[in-house]
Amino acid sequence: MPVHNADIAAVFDEIADLLEIQGENPFRIRAYRNAARQMESMGMPAADMVAKGEDLTELPGIGDDLAAKIREMVETGKCKALEKLRAKFPPTITTLLKLPGLGPKRVKTLYDKLKIKTLEQLKAAAREHRIRELEGFGDKTEATILEALEQHAEQVTRFKLAVAAQYAEPLASYLKRSRNVKQVEIAGSYRRCKETVGDLDLLATTKGASNVMDRFVKYDEVRDVLAHGETRATVRLKCGLQVDLRVVSTESFGAALQYFTGSKAHNIEIRRLGQDRKLKINEYGVFKGKKSIAGATEESVYRAVGLPWIAPELREDRGEIEAARKGKLPKLVELSDLRGDLHAHTKATDGHHTLKEMAEAAKARGLEYLAITEHSRRLTVAHGLDPHRLRKQMEEIDRLNQNLSGITILKGVEVDILEDGSLDLPDEVLTECDLVVGAVHSKFHLPRAKQTQRILRAMERPYFSILAHPSGRLIGSREAYEVDMLKIIRAAKARGCFLELNAHPERLDLMDVNCQLAKDENVLVAISSDAHRLQDFDNLKYGVGQARRGWLTKDDVLNTRPLKLLVSLLRRTIKK
């Protein structure tokens, strides 16, 4: 896809914004602002100048460094300098810049004075009237910010993946029962297993006249019909979720599925590969001139550009195309690969069922082992266990294991990591456990270095098997705490312990990018349900989806091992 001058200007403006928030040299910031204005006002496309080999430094305000960045963007569509800058800030901070009245200087003040880096924190500060006290703000600005936040919330409402599934799957099933419908597939970010979903894209094929469009707009959960045509309709459900349905021909179904699954960045790269082969790729198929040469299946679309099929969860333009080109795509982990679950709770703390009930529910889902990891005493709100109660439960597990068949219960505990890095229970009781899961449940706002050191100290304790929900985030309600995740992962490798991918839909933690880091460092990840109810074991599928987004294979996941090997690996985490 061509890179326009406006695209380059937007990059330079964002660099300037981030440099200003960072408090960089004003002259450097001004250079990027001037370069952005030069790009916006220039009649000649910079891409044409690059293609002709012209000297970009002849442009006003463009020196060697900026010229190199322009060439990089034209040739790759990316700017490494911007990506490095973004990595220095919480990923949400640039969203603050999009609110009316919040330029870089004000965002910097909010960041420096009130430690605000998310929209949620900004809203809380405005409601508590802390913003008006800052120099350069005042009552009116505070009210404007609050109003802008409310409007922004309406525009960017997203649904957690598991919540979206409650609407998407029944709707797809309903549409499959339409007359003459052959297939219905859910595409978009839902198919890519993103943590949150903004809207739904559904595709259908028919084998004759069908009533699928009429059934769609008359679906019980439809609140508004936004468009209704013969091959496309758009509705908004009562929950607020917008849904698009497209009916496509069988010959185009694969191309449409690939196109509407996305991501946009992935699709751009696929189309570029097509252009290199003088092919046109769109939702209708792959064309050489006017002749369609592929499109009935996704495989045919990828094959047309010389690639094997790429799993939807990988389609984020994070190296999957290069890996496919080199024949190095991973064989991603599947739900059926899981042999057990290493994080679950019972009525002994804040769970809702007995040991036996949880074990039977896990067995019914094909699991061979289940670790019961109750909260430790520090978490009083969950009725955490003290050493006496923990030992009592371990005795109960031993008795139950003698009568169970087809599943084994492992004795564990989810022990709190205290602020100083010590664990909430003494070593003399932890030594009796099959595994010790350490977790941060308090003091989320410690400085990055202190939070990191806290976790590193905990991992060095003699009894530490798995770090639970490593970032502490709750999707949509609590940001991840500040921590050096790469340092944590490398420490886990050195220590010989493991990281958890908590499959609870509000957590999905490890994040996908950190799953990739763990994989790169050869640190095994446990996909665990954190089940508090029988049905919570079903959340393992969301954990697997997140693991697949993080490029994890069966071999990268701890609990794909059979029990005997798992126990051996867990024993190695004990450092007496």
Tens of pLDDT, residues 454-498: 999 999 999 999 999 999 998 876 889 999 999 999 999 999 999
pLDDT of residue 112: 83
Tokens of 304: 């047309």
Considering only CA atoms, which of 361, 362, 368, 344 is closest in space to residue 559?
368
pLDDT confidence of residue 572: 93
Helices 119-127 and 139-155 meet at what angle, rounded to 10?
140
User: Is residue 273 scored above 80 in pLDDT?
Assistant: yes
Per-residue model confidence (pLDDT) at position 383: 87
- Which two tokens mark 131? 């913003």
pLDDT of 322: 96
pLDDT at 565: 98
pLDDT at 45: 78
pLDDT score of 44: 73
pLDDT at 156 over 60: no
Do the beta carbons of residue 62 and residue 36 sit within 8 Å? Answer: no
Neighbours of 513 (CB within 10 A): 13
Please give the pLDDT value at position 58. 82
Amino acid at residue number 260 = F
Share of the chain above pLDDT 70, in %: 97
Residue-by-residue DSSP string for 496-542? T-EEEEE--TTT-BS-HHHHHHHHHTT--EEEE--BSSGGGGGGHHH
Q: Rounded distance, CA 378 to CA 76, Å?
A: 52
Q: List b or e across 46-72, with b for residues whose CB sees 16 or more CB atoms inside 10 angstroms.
A: bbebbeeeeebeebebbeeebbebbeb
* 334 touches 545 (CB < 8 A): no
Measured at the CA of 322, the angle between CA 320 and CA 328, to 5 degrees, comes to: 75
Contact 178, 215 (CB under 8 A): yes
Kindly report the average pLDDT of the chain as a whole number.
92
Q: Which two tokens stand for residue 255?
A: 């191309």
Q: What is the dihedral of CA 539, 544, 546, 547, to 10 degrees?
A: 150
Mean pLDDT, residues 171-197: 96
CATH number (3.30.70.100, 3.10.129.10, 3.30.460.10, 3.40.50.150) of 159-247 reads 3.30.460.10
**DSSP assignment of 2-23, as one string?**
PPPHHHHHHHHHHHHHHHHHHT
Q: How many residues does the chain have?
A: 576
Is CATH 1.10.150.110 correct for 5-155? Answer: yes
**Whole-number pLDDT of residue 381:** 74
- pLDDT for res 40: 66
Alpha carbon separation from 514 to 41, 319, 552 (Å, rounded):
41, 15, 11
Mean pLDDT of 54-81: 90
Q: Determine the topology of domain 252-325 in CATH.
A: Beta Polymerase; domain 3 (3.30.210)
Q: How confident is the model at residue 39 (pLDDT cuts 50, 70, 90)?
A: confident
The stretches of 156-230 forming alpha helices (DSSP H) are 161-176, 188-191, 212-217
Residues of the chain above pLDDT 90, percent: 70
Residue 41, pLDDT score: 60
Residue 69: the pLDDT is 95
Weakest-pLDDT range from 206-210, 255-259, 545-549:
206-210
Mean pLDDT along residues 146-167: 78
Question: Range with the lowest mean pLDDT among 117-131, 287-301, 323-337, 429-443?
Answer: 117-131
Give the lowest-confidence range in 54-58, 229-233, 324-328, 365-369: 54-58
Q: Which residue has the tokens 């000649």?
A: 44
Per-residue pLDDT, averaged over 518-525, amounts to 97
Q: Is the pLDDT of residue 4 over 80?
A: no
Is pLDDT at 216 greater than 70 in this prediction?
Answer: yes
246 has pLDDT over 80: yes
| pLDDT for position 175 | 97
Q: Does position 37 have pLDDT exceeding 80, yes or no?
A: no
At residue 197, the pLDDT reads 95
| CA separation for the pair 299, 212 (Å, rounded) | 26
Ranking 176-185, 298-307, 344-353, 519-528 by mean pLDDT, the lowest is 344-353
Query: Are 121 and 93 in contact, with CB atoms under 8 Å apart?
Result: no
* Domain 335-571 listed as CATH 3.40.50.261: no
Residue 510 has pLDDT above 90, yes or no: yes
d(CA 195, CA 163): 10
The number of helices, as runs of H, and strands, as runs of E, in the chain is 24, 17
Contact predicate 448/479, CB 8 Å: no
Alpha-helix runs per DSSP H in 305-435: 320-325, 355-364, 387-403, 427-430
The average pLDDT across 280-294 equals 96
The most confident of the ranges 25-29, 157-161, 524-528, 571-575 is 524-528
> How confident is the model at residue 336, as a pLDDT?
98
Domain residue extents for the chain: 5-155, 159-247, 252-325, 335-571
| Mean pLDDT computed over 258-286 | 96
Q: What is the number of alpha carbons within 13 Å of residue 284 lying toward its C-beta?
A: 7
The set of long-range contacts for 405-409, using a CB threshold of 8 Å and a minimum separation of 24, is 406/363, 406/368, 407/359, 407/360, 407/362, 407/363, 407/367, 407/368, 407/369, 407/370, 408/368, 408/369, 408/370, 408/563, 409/355, 409/359, 409/369, 409/370, 409/371, 409/372
